[in-house]
Amino acid sequence: MATLSHHPFLSSKLRLTTKPKLRPICPTAVRMSLQETAPSLAVVGVTGAVGQEFLSVLSDRDFPFRSIKMLASKRSSGRRFKFQGHEYTIEELAAESFDGVDIALFSAGGSISKEFGPIAVEKGTIVVDNSSAFRMDEKVPLVIPEVNPEAMEGIKVGMGKGALIANPNCSTIICLMAATPLHRRAKVLRMVVSTYQAASGAGAAAMEELELQTREVLEGKPPTCQIFKQQYAFNLFSHNAPVLSNGYNEEEMKLVKETRKIWNDINVKVTATCIRVPVMRAHAESVNLQFENPLDEDTARDILMNAPGVVVVDDRASNRFPTPLGVSNKDDVAVGRIRRDVSQDGNHGLDIFVCGDQIRKGAALNAVQIAEMLL
């Protein structure tokens, strides 16, 4: 079966197959990021899709470090690859892995984070965790740097002790990058979110299966359904997260709970419906906002055009608006379809459409931006 590497919307630095290939990243030159006075890093889950994207983002942003450990499971240990002109051997994750490590980027799943996150903190490491393990822990900051940097105030490399910082869910990050600048101006009372989530959110194996199913369906064959247990190609369905007793699934409730924590507002009303769509990479979201104070669409557009990490794609004349393809492998979140909600009186409601790369800003980039704030 072919890999996904030939798809133009997948990163040239990241081949997302069921076993992500460790590729040389900037192999020819010693980068300025390697500095004796910089912090020591560890990447936990380095062989996964987000782990490899961590390395791409670290390289793209010239993140300074004096050393970096590549950590993964036992089955990956011993594999070698080049990163920024140096060859590294993947080590099996263990308690002693964090000896002398200043910052650890975790993306190896919730169970690994729960086991090794506190161990790393005890050894003085600042952990930036991409799983859901600690997001709702009231003692752990849940951070989007453009949204609530104050939540991690006082946490810095060199402070002499470890700490945990949680990376929000990808859907929450993409949504709040656009909604927060408007919330600051007019205060959101209620937010209704409908997500259109790509295969990338379920990992490389889901992307591989979507490609395989597409080929099978076009050839008139029954589709292989191992990841989602139903046809994904030419179809869409409710997000595969477990459904809770209230009828919402876990993905939807993450948007509700994480928004309230990040905005530090337990009274904001949030409801969500999360859907898997047959898109390879990057999530899209339809967001309806109800405000306490009036906010017209022209002012909202100006606010979003000046918001960090946001790009406005809102060309009504050409019917050109954000798309998953347009944001794939991009850092910025794209916002468009900015319009007054005609079901609400006055200028107290807006509809917007948001697209963001789930692996990039929805995971790896946000974590590295958090790490940059620790320096």
The active-site residue out of 239, 274, 283, 355 is 283
Calpha distance 227→233 (Å, rounded): 12
Location of structure tokens 């704030």: 373
Per-residue burial over 134-159, b = 16 or more CB atoms within 10 Å of its CB, e = otherwise: bbeeeebbbbbbbbbeebbeebeeee
CA dihedral 259, 149, 292, 321 (to 10 degrees): -70
DSSP 221: P
| 3-state class percentages of the chain: helix first, strand second, coil last, to nearest 5 | 30, 25, 45
Q: Are the CB atoms for 157 and 102 separated by under 8 Å?
A: yes
Query: Phi and psi for 288 in degrees, rounded to 5?
Result: -105, 130
The active-site residue out of 26, 170, 175, 274 is 170
Q: Which tokens is 208 given?
A: 């591989």
Q: Which tokens is 294 given?
A: 């009036």
Sequence-separated (6 or more) residues with CB below 8 Å from residue 319: none
| Catalytic-residue membership of 6 | no
| Catalytic-residue membership of 7 | no
Would you please indicate which residues are annotated as catalytic (active-site) residues?
A: 170, 283
